[in-house]
Amino acid sequence: MKAAVLLSLVAAAAAGGCKNWGYPTTTIAGIEVVDTQIVRDALSLIKNSGLKDYVVKHQIRSWLFGAQQLNNNATLKSIVDPQAQAITILLHDLGWDQTPDSPWTTMDLRFEVDSANGMRNFVRSHPDGKQISERKLQQMWDAIALQGAYGLASQKEPLVWGSINGIANDYRGPGVFGINETIYNQIVAEFPADDLLTGTNETFKWFCETKPETTYDTWVEGWGTYFVDGYDATGHRQVDQFRTVF
C-alpha cells in the first residue's frame, strides 16, 4: 500500500514532467533559480570582477530569463540542465572586461572565445566542476562561442540554444520564449536594463577600436564600419580574396 502511494507520487511528479535535477533552489526577483555553490561562485565572480555594472546586470537578467523559460516548460527543463545553463549564461560575456589587466580579455581572440575560455577555466578549477562532464562543458563552451550565431546555435544541443534564448530575451524583451510582460517587468524592476543598449554599443565599438583584427568578418564588424573613425574591414574579409580590385 505504502509502495503504491509512493509510486503514484513518483508518477505524479513524472507527469508534472519536471526531471528532478536535484539542485537546491532559491528565488531571485521572484524567479526560482538553482542555488548550488558553483552557481553562487559564478555570480560572485562577475559581481566582484572588473566587468562594468551593465554587463553584470545583463548576465544576471539573462540568467533569470533563461531559468524562467525552463520553469515554464517541464519538457524543456527535463532536457536542459539548469545548473549548466546558469553558469553558461552568467559567464557568457567575461570577454567584455575592459580593465587593462583583465584575466579574460585577450588582444588576439574574439570576445566570444575569451568568454568561453574563461567559463571553462572557471568550471575546471572549481571544486565542484568535476560534476560537469567534458561533453556538457563543451556544449557550454559552444553556447558562449555561438552567442551571436543563432543560425548555427539553434541546430545544436538544447543546452546550447536553451542558454542563448535566455540572453536573447534581454535584447528582445517580453513576448518571446514564453516570457510575458509581468515576468519581464518583475526582472527589470530589480535589475534595470536601461543601460543595456548603450553599454553593448560602447563595448562593441571598443572591440573595433582596441582589437579590430578580431572583429573583421564577424557580427561585430558593423559597429566598426558605422561608428569607429578609421575602421576599415576592406582587405580583411574572406570576400576580399575573391576581388581583383581593392
One residue of 37, 75, 133, 210 binding ligand NAG per CB under 6 A = 75
One residue of 46, 51, 67, 76 binding ligand NAG per CB under 6 A = 76
One residue of 32, 41, 72, 218 binding ligand NAG per CB under 6 A = 72
Q: Which of residues 73 and 121 has its CB atom nearest to ligand NAG in the complex? A: 73
Q: What one-character DSSP code corresponds to residue 218? A: S
Alpha helices, H only, the chain: 2-16, 37-47, 53-71, 74-79, 82-90, 111-125, 134-145, 150-153, 158-172, 181-190, 196-210, 221-227
Would you count residue 182 as binding ligand NAG (CB under 6 A)? yes
One residue of 131, 198, 210, 234 binding ligand NAG per CB under 6 A = 198
Closest contact distance (angstroms) between CB of 212 and ligand NAG is 16
Site string for ligand NAG, 218-237 (x = CB under 6 A): ---------x----------
One residue of 38, 60, 183, 187 binding ligand NAG per CB under 6 A = 183
Choices 23-31, 82-90, 119-127, 176-184 (CB under 6 A): range interacting with ligand NAG: 176-184
Instruction: Classify burial at 160, counting beta carbons within 10 Å of its beta carbon; exposed 0-12, middle 13-18, buried 19 or more.
Output: buried
Phi-psi map region of 25: left, alpha, beta (phi>0 left; psi -120 to 50 alpha): beta
Task: Tell me how far apart the alpha carbons of residues 94 and 245 are, in angstroms, rounded to a whole number.
Answer: 39
For 60, the grid coordinates are: 544576471
Phi-psi map region of 22: left, alpha, beta (phi>0 left; psi -120 to 50 alpha): left
Site string for ligand NAG, 106-135 (x = CB under 6 A): ------------------------------
Residues that bind ligand NAG (CB under 6 A): 72-73, 75-76, 178, 180, 182-183, 197-198, 201, 227
